[in-house]
Structure 1
Amino acid sequence: MLRPQFVLFGDSLTQQSFDPAGGWGASLADAYARKADVINRGYGGYNTRWALKMLTRIFPQTAEPPRLVTVFFGANDAAIPGRLGERQHVAIPDYVDNLRTIVQHLQQLRAGSILLITPPPVSDQGRVKYNCELQGVTEVTQIPERTNAFTGQYAEACKSLASELGLPVLDLWGLMQQERDWEAELFWDGLHFTSKGNAVVYKHLQALVDEQFPDLRAEDMAYDFPHHSKFDPANVDAAFQ
């Protein structure tokens, strides 16, 4: 029996999700060990416009459709025009259209389940501090290049599209702000997750998968091959029949 594939598609927040120090993608892979192959297709710095350029290569028509796909973009699309990082900016209407195109392609491939993830909140102060340290200055003009309020508009747009398409959505922008001291505890640079931030993402993602896709609950999925306890040393082949 071939394992189903779970594909995590997104930007650096997905690329870094396999961090061995408790990345949310690594935690997901651990939960589904021997039950599903969790594949990281995260691309640091990418926005939805650039993601479309590789969409058919990552999800070709000839491949076996993935059983689950998470689509996690928006943190870079929400870079503010006229500030550091503006080359990554994608206007909200285009962001929504790009997400829709990604979803439609996955639906044409008959991907089993599709789950959208909103961009997470941004610590304005954390971004200012990080950019100052990066540039070796005490004050930087035109920063922060991302703000929580502006990113929140993209989160709302993502949620609205999910509602329109009848897809589940993980509202990280809202959920993470409910955590105590979220700005300092969940983000190391105001944008990317700390170990605690990754744990929060995994907790809510796993809960949503369990709720929306009961057949994908890790505890209910079978191993791809028999457990070793099933082997009779005199007739191991019997366990594989």
Structure 2
Amino acid sequence: METVRPHFVLFGDSITEQSFRPGGWGAALANTYSRKADVIVRGYGGYNTRWALFLLDHLFSLSCTAPPAAVTIFFGANDAALLGQTSERQYVPLEEYKENLRKIVKHLKESSATILVVLITPPPVDEEGRKEYARSVYGEKAMEHPERTNDNTGAYARQCVELAKELHIPSIDLWSKMQETTQWQKKFLSDGLHLTEEGNAVVHEEVVRVLRDGHLRAEAMPYDFPHHSKINSDHPEKAFEPKR
């Protein structure tokens, strides 16, 4: 009996690393695909695409005999940090960001011809929310100018979507999607950058939609072992016999 579940890997920065917190989009995804697929979090807070390249051989070995069925690539919030501000060490130029994403996708495609790769844009930035957060943490020493702007992050989001079109892979334009909702700043973002429970719900909904479109519908996937209703209490062993 085949019992190996497919793997979905979530690869990204802190927004991915935090996705298994209560109300997180990764935890919700694991619940949606419970007993159908294993959801593996590979999120690295503070990372940009330049640093992510050093992880590829460690996380997605080309010699792996069981590559993931799907991988989400969720970077850009740190790449879009502004030069001359407090987070400039994370800054990656726009064109390099796009090329780094291209290299990540290329590596994943080399690991498996059938892997579903999904690019996710950075979310929008609530600049006032970032200032409020900085003041709450640093007090009078808080920055006077935002270390990220929504317009600049939007440029990175557009490059992400453009690359997905070039490579004929799905993308989730989170930057645009969230701004379709009134008062998105406080509804979806907890500190101007990271996600609230409602923001996580948006990501979960969009990822599930893309997985379904990629023929990974949870309801159509088999359980890893028989559902309890299929087990005869007098002869439970019969439910676990190999199919002929």
The TM-score by the shorter chain falls in which range? Answer: over 0.9
Aligned to 2:231: 231
Aligned to 2:147: 145
Shift of 1:125: 0.7
Change (3 A) 1:222 1:187: same
Aligned to 2:26: 25
Q: Measure the CA separation in 1 of the matches of 2:238 and 2:63.
A: 34
Q: Measure the CA separation in 1 of the matches of 2:234 and 2:15.
A: 49
Q: Measure the CA separation in 2 of the matches of 1:219 and 1:232.
A: 23
Shift of 1:180: 2.1
The answer to whether the aligner puts 1:16 opposite 2:18 as a matched pair is yes
Match of 2:90 among 80, 88, 91: 88
| SS of aligned partner of 2:118 | strand
Aligned to 2:208: 206
Q: Measure the CA separation in 2 of the matches of 1:118 and 1:76.
A: 12
Which deviations, in whole Å up to 9, do the C-alpha atoms of 1:154-183 show, x marking residues without a partner? 000001100000010000000000112100
Match of 2:115 among 112, 117, 135: 112
Q: Cα RMSD between the aligned structures?
A: 1.2
Aligned to 1:50: 51
Amino acid at match of 1:46: Y
Match of 1:129 among 111, 129, 132: 132
Change (3 A) 1:139 1:98: closer
Which deviations, in whole Å up to 9, do the C-alpha atoms of 1:37-57 show, x marking residues without a partner? 000000000000000111110
Structure 1 gap ranges (5+): none
Tell me how many residue pairs correspond in the alignment: 237
Q: How does the TM-score come out when normalised to structure 1? A: 0.95
| SS of aligned partner of 1:136 | helix
| SS of aligned partner of 1:9 | strand
Amino acid at match of 1:85: S
Aligned to 1:4: 6
| SS of aligned partner of 1:137 | helix
Structure 2 gap ranges (5+): none
Q: How does the TM-score come out when normalised to structure 2? A: 0.94
Q: Please give the residue correspondences for 1:172-183 in structure 2 after superposition, counting only pairs within 5 Å.
A: 172-183=174-185
Whether the 8 Å CA contact 2:119–2:160 is kept in 1: the answer is yes
Whether the 8 Å CA contact 2:86–2:143 is kept in 1: the answer is no
Aligned to 2:165: 163
Change (3 A) 1:237 1:159: same
Q: Indicate the percent of aligned positions where both proteins have the same amino acid.
A: 52
Shift of 1:208: 2.4
Which deviations, in whole Å up to 9, do the C-alpha atoms of 1:79-123 show, x marking residues without a partner? 001111000000011111110110000000015211000011000
Amino acid at match of 2:88: E
Q: Measure the CA separation in 2 of the matches of 1:166 and 1:240.
A: 41
Q: Measure the CA separation in 2 of the matches of 1:3 and 1:47.
A: 30
Shift of 1:209: 2.0
Which deviations, in whole Å up to 9, do the C-alpha atoms of 1:122-145 show, x marking residues without a partner? 00111111112221128633x200
